[in-house]
Amino acid sequence: MDKSVGRKSTELFLRANKVLPGGVSRNTLLRGIQPLYVDHGEGCRVIDVDGFERIDFANNMASLIHGHAHPKITEAVSTQLRRGTAFTMATEAEVLFAEHLCGRAPGFDKVRFVNSGTEAVMAGLKAARAYTDRPKIAKVEGSYHGAYDFAEVSQAANPENWGQGNRPNSTPLAQGTPQGVLDDVIIIPFNDPETALAILARHKSDIACVLIDPIPHRIGMIPADPEFVRQIHTWTRDNGALLMFDEVITFRTETGGMQARFNVTPDLTSLGKMIGGGFPVGALAGRNDVMDVFVKGEKGLRLPHSGTFSANPVTMTAGRVAMELFDDEAVARLNDLGDRAREGIAQAINIAGAPACVTGTGSLFRIHMKPNPPANYRETYPDASEQKALSALVDALYDAGIMPIHTGSGALSTAMGNSEIDRLAEAVLTAFRTINTKLQKDI
Ligand SMILES: Cc1ncc(COP(=O)(O)O)c(C=O)c1O
């Protein structure tokens, strides 16, 4: 743990441990043995309870696109708060937000709101099953899609259990995952269309949908190859299955999400994180006839679906304002900052002579303690010495007033400018210099 963990954070964690399992409500907050406790955030900066200020490159796991407490979002939400926060009635706020989102991508005929990315993926997988009347889903090895049992399969496969590359095993994440779940999830390798199609062919009449994250952060944060996406899309078309994109993170990459960069329109798309404007959110968007599974029709109600807080007007208001602010110009500016960040980090790695590299696209980056960018999940998987070196790097960045995601990744916000990006590059250089001797020894 970095030396800047203060006394107040430590005291809070001692209290938390008595009432929260592991002292937290999200395991991802644990770095080393404890989380830091925040006091407040302003724009792209967060100030912890001990008064340390850091530039926020984590942005609540890539969910804040405008940083903290953006005045326009705060004002709109405050107005809504005074009018009530949750009703057993529909609201104009959800209609306005749905109209906005449906205008952003050609494949978004309709949208259904939920409360998290996990729920959005779950709704999408269930919608695909209901639409096709088939039981299985296919997903990419190592890809993270939240906590639905089926979406979790092979999320954390490791060399002991992942099996042969051309026939990856379906591995459980949680102990006690039913065998039936594993049997109904088919695992394909990333960006290897030939192997993927051979695997899919073996289950072709059972597959409801193929789920793809176009920049899977646990798979090196490397974009999907357009040819991989094209071939999977064609396969789904030819075999009566659906293509679902998980754009919970990647929607920030283009005005219409990463799908705008491919010449394909997925049948379904899960959204979340930044579309909530800082509030809990998820959404499933898709083609009219597929989204009709949520509506009572000739075939009855194929997918009954509800959620007490789904489309609550606070989230809907914050999300709409945030997304309206994230227009073409804002997306382009943020992606330029992303290029500057990746270039700055690459230069720092070069100057320091560190055996590391940087990947990512748009407003996302990830530092790997490997000399060359990985091509798939198995290549991304860090060995023990790489993991140790990465933790040392993240600690050093925290000490330097930079807060990345604990995996060495970062997601930018529109609250940043060139000076914050340059501070990041400088901090990476200093951090590599500090830990370089150790790296040379370990890797
Ligand atoms: C690609 C992707 N899908 C789904 C999820 C789950 O979203 P949530 O944490 O809101 O449930 C995440 C969360 O990190 C994600 O990165």
Chain segment 30-73, per-residue pLDDT in tens: 887 789 999 999 999 999 999 999 999 999 999 999 999 999 99
192 is catalytic: no
Q: Does the CB atom of residue 407 touch ligand 1 within 6 A?
A: no
238 is catalytic: no
Distance CA 321, CA 100 (A): 10
CA distances, 102 to each of 73, 74, 97, 161, 267 (Å): 21, 24, 9, 41, 14
Distance CA 132, CA 333 (A): 41
Given the residues 144, 377, 381, 398, the one annotated as active site: 144
Gap from CA of 59 to ligand 1 centroid (Å):
14
The two beta strands, 136-140 and 207-212, are: parallel
End-to-end CA distance of the chain: 21
Band of pLDDT at residue 440, cut at 50, 70 and 90: low
273 is catalytic: yes
Q: What is the mean pLDDT of residues 286-292?
A: 98
Distance CA 5, CA 59 (A): 19
Distance CA 273, CA 278 (A): 8
Kindly report the average pLDDT of the chain as a whole number.
96
Given the residues 184, 273, 381, 395, the one annotated as active site: 273
Q: Residue 46 forms beta bridges with which residues?
A: 41, 54
Q: What is the mean pLDDT of residues 16-21?
A: 96
Give CA 312 to chain center in angstroms. 22
Element of type H or E holding 34: none
Which residue of 28, 118, 407 sits with most ligand 1 atoms within 8 Å of its CB, as the best mutation to test the pocket?
118
The two beta strands, 402-403 and 53-56, are: parallel
Atom of ligand 1 nearest to the CA of 250: 1
Over the stretch 127-170, which tens digit does the pLDDT of each residue have? 999 999 999 999 999 999 999 999 999 999 999 999 999 999 99
Gap from CA of 280 to ligand 1 centroid (Å):
11
Gap from CA of 282 to ligand 1 centroid (Å):
9
Band of pLDDT at residue 106, cut at 50, 70 and 90: very high
Give CA 244 to chain center in angstroms. 15
In our burial notation (b when 16+ CB lie closer than 10 A, e otherwise), range 156-169 reads bbeeeebbeeeebe
